[in-house]
Structure 1
Amino acid sequence: MTVIPFESAVQDERELSMSDFVANVDYIPLQTDSNCLVGNLWDNGVVRSSKYFFLAVGDNLLQYALDGKFIRVLGGIGGGPGEYNWISDIDVNDRSQRLFVGDIGKINVYDTETGDFICSYPTNDETFQFKVKNDSTLFRFLYNSTGKVATRVLISDAHGDTLRAYPRHDLFDVEEGMVFMIGSSDDRFMYRCGDDICYRENYNDTIFTVTEQELIPRYVFDLGKYHLPSDYRFELLGDDDKFNSLASSYLSIHPIEVADFVFIPYAYWAGKGKRENMMAIYDKRKNECYKVAGGALKNDMDGLFDFRPAIALDDYTLLKVVQASQVLRYAEKNPSVLENERLKNLQEDDNPVLMVVTLKQQP
């Protein structure tokens, strides 16, 4: 277990450039036509295999080539075989060419080459985020929407049988009528790093490595004075005004782990600071943590967008989703943006652009 001294680290601010970390940056406009309107894509609704991107957009599942060319819609809305009602999460296995799609009560499995539906794994409940090991063992995070969901991580097999259940100890009573927890597109409850499957909840300062035998503490973030007290949780207060007042001086972190670093985007839980996008970085090799000035890596490579990652596609690749309208607004002040061959024909209503950043591999 590694303790990351976050409270002291955010006092050590450094000007950092993309070239300090990045080997390559690419911009991939997603093809736009009536068959593949993406809309407001959440960053963590994207996974990548060696040949494709897969996008979960609410009730739509889209497949794109790595150059952004649209390939197909997978499945469809409904309750029949291969259909889904609401996509909670997606995962992909490159070796077996299988895509896994979370729905209420099941996880659908598709062939990534043909788009054909293969089968469904029963889950008997709503799986919010998940990862699949060896194509048949499901590591599932259960969303505590009522305050009384007693299991936080459930490991089950392809038949729906439970192999291991890890209990949740911070159960609570919610205000009458409340059936949700505070959350955002930055939430990453389950992720992979190398061969490990990892888990962390928004209110927990610890990242765990999940195995079928135990939860192993991996990183503890020492937030110190920035840690939100349990009594100030939104679900417990049940009041927006109280939460905005009491939680406005505490920080919410959203760690993104790759091979050599943990990128830590963060913001205040509430108040005006909630809109202030900040970031820290923990360097695994040097065992040091520091704040990034301006909340992003300065783009000294191609003169386009500064970079604040949203998710990791693999151990050396990070992603940021940029709406077409954002690109064009940026281009009003920086016309050179539209000189980029991939962006020059972009229109206001086009699908988003994927900013894909490949990190340097450290010796």
Structure 2
Amino acid sequence: MLKLESFFFFSFFLFLAGCGNQSKPVSVEQEIITPLSAGNAVDDLLPYIDSVEVVPLETTGKALIGLVGKILLLPNGNVLIKSTASMFMFSPEGKFLFQIGKNGRGPEEYLTIDDVCLSQDARELWILGGCEIVKYSTETGRFIRKTTLELPEICNGFDAIASGPGHSAFLYYCPQMDENNFSEDFYCLYRYDEQGRILQKFLPRKDYGLNIALITQTSDNRYILRPQDSDNICYYLSDSLPVPRVKIDFGKETIKNRYSSDLQTYLRSDYYKMPVYIYDTRDYFYFSYCGPEATDCYCIHSFKNNKTITWERKGDDADGMFMIGGADKDFFYGIYNDYRDWDEILLNRQDLLKRAIIQKTHLRIPEDSNPLLVKVKFKF
């Protein structure tokens, strides 16, 4: 079954290390979200959507958007889009501004993009490529510096990045899928200084996991490390220590740690697992997760009203799937890339979120144009 393609349509499949606590977390009130016991399962999202805004992304020969891997939002409203091995900056209205950096082997180029983030002041884009961080100005796109990282013995490169205080960086390492990895303790999350030296290490491995959307940017340029084991704790990475801010509780239907090292066995199990694609606005918290038989499930929780809605993917049309990929204080963002006319799309074959967006906007992408940036605001 390759429902996995629809659930993780733009990611690579590598097993990573799940993690627990090394030291005492920062003292903070922890939100607990219970999708199964408190969630209201819905079959129509229209009543829960306040508004939808559509931003056409300017099409030029210098910025052709293909497969989108990440969206980063700047405080001034500009939007950075990672498309394949390129980084493109757009204005809030969708005007193309400039490309940041270039893929190559030159002194001011990056060799690969494993992950990206903004510095805490959002003045720099940090591109992680294995054992290097390449930094560029978000104001001009110009190269700033390249830092080679001091690597732990067990690690030959990192897979995810978030900015920390004082120009430090959080880096997450995903070991290859190998059950023998549990025979030796090792840490998954490291904090580095600006010179590439290790400052701290956190979260010893406890479980298998997938290298998919490990760290996501959320509102106010904060970063979330998604849950890495059956504790299902979301860590916010903005202070010098990871902050266990949100726990996603599936109750007795939570899968156990080390359930299986086989991907299909794990996904098809009768349990709920793997909260991923995690974003929050000022009032709402969004994530997707995997249900029994690898069912694609989605959840939005209102912090303000302590209400939760959930839904399952039922449509079988995987063309131009719409996924949440960013958030500011009010809106969730995603890329709409279905080039069919809206009235040619069979709504009953679409996921509920894409269906509601089409019903709300009747959007259409002109031929030979970039996809659309869509902003969704919820209400409940």
TM-score range, shorter chain: 0.7 to 0.9
Whether 1:57 and 2:89 are equivalent positions in the alignment is no
Counterpart of 1:154 in structure 2 is: 190
Q: Which amino acid aligns with 2:73?
A: R
Alpha-carbon distance, 1:146 to partner: 4.7
1:279 aligns with 2:298: yes
CA displacement, residues 190-239 of structure 1 (integer Å, 9 cap, x when unaligned): 54455864322354411123466644432222212432233434xx23x6
Equivalent residues of 1:106, 1:122 under 8 A apart: yes
In structure 2, the partner of 1:105 is 131
Aligned pairs for 1:317-332 (under 5 A) are 317-323=331-337, 326-332=338-344
Change (3 A) 1:168 1:345: closer
Query: 1:119-148: CA deviations, max 9, x gaps?
Result: 123324533222213561112222233554
Give the equivalent residue in structure 1 for 2:272. 250
- Name the CA distance, whole Å, in 2 between partners of 1:28 and 1:169: 41
Give the secondary structure class of the aligned counterpart of 1:84.
coil
Which deviations, in whole Å up to 9, do the C-alpha atoms of 1:61-113 show, x marking residues without a partner?
A: 22222222223222222233221122122223585632222212121111122
Q: What is the DSSP-based 3-state SS (H/G/I as helix, E as strand, rest coil) of the residue aligned with 2:126?
A: strand
Structure number having the greater strand percentage = 1
CA distance in 1, matches of 2:270, 2:63: 39
What is residue 115 of structure 1 aligned with on the other side? 141
Q: 1:220 aligns with which of 247, 269, 274?
A: 247
Q: Which runs of 4+ in 1 moved over 6 A?
A: 293-296, 334-341
- Amino acid in structure 1 at the alignment position of 2:53: D
Give the number of aligned pairs: 324
Q: Does 1:263 align with 2:274?
A: no
Equivalent position of 1:26 in the other structure? 53
Partner secondary structure for residue 83 of structure 1: coil
Residues 96 and 157 of structure 1, relative CA distance in 2, 3 Å threshold:
same
Distance verdict in 2 for CA 1:18–1:344, change over 3 Å: closer
2:19 aligned residue:
none
Structure 2 residue 197 is matched with structure 1 residue 167? no
Rounded to whole Å, the distance in 2 between the matches of 1:37 and 1:308 is 19
Letter in 2 for 1:91: C
Task: Determine the C-alpha separation between the residues in 2 that align with 1:60 and 1:129.
Answer: 17
Residue 211 and residue 46 in structure 1: after superposition, are their counterparts in 2 closer, same or farther (change >3 A)? Answer: closer
Shift of 1:118: 0.8
Matched, 1:346 2:373: no
1:201–1:94: structure 2 CA closer, same or farther, 3 Å change rule?
A: closer
Identity %: 17
CA offsets, 1:275-298, max 9 Å, x none? x4x3222222333434258789xx
Change (3 A) 1:350 1:231: same
In 1: Cα distance, 2:166 partner to 2:138 partner:
13
Amino acid at match of 1:121: T
Conserved? CA contact 1:163–1:212, under 8 Å: no
Equivalent residue in structure 2 for 1:129, among 139, 146, 160: 160
Matching residue of 2:234:
207
Q: d(CA) in 2 for partners of 1:281 and 1:154?
A: 30
**Residue aligning to 2:33:** 4
1:13 is matched with which residue?
41
Asked if the contact 2:226–2:275 (Cα under 8 Å) also holds between the matched residues in 1, the reply is no
RMSD: 3.7
TM-score (norm 2): 0.71
Q: Report if the CA contact (8 A) 2:207-2:257 is conserved.
A: no
Q: Give the match for residue 25 of structure 2.
A: none
Distance 1:88 1:314 in 2: 23
Amino acid corresponding to residue 161 of structure 2 in structure 1: F
Give how far 1:340 is off. 6.9
How far residue 264 of structure 1 moved from its aligned partner, in angstroms, is: 2.9
Once residues 76 and 31 of structure 1 are traced to their aligned partners in structure 2, the CA distance between those partners, rounded to angstroms, is 20
Mapped partners of 1:340, 1:219: distance in 2: 33
Partners of 1:269 and 1:80 in 2: CA distance: 48
* 1:162, distance to aligned residue in structure 2 (A): 1.4
Change (3 A) 1:270 1:20: closer
CA–CA separation in structure 1 for the residues paired with 2:310 and 2:360:
32
- Equivalent position to 2:210, from 177, 182, 187: 182
Determine if contact 2:103/2:110 at 8 Å carries over to the other structure: yes
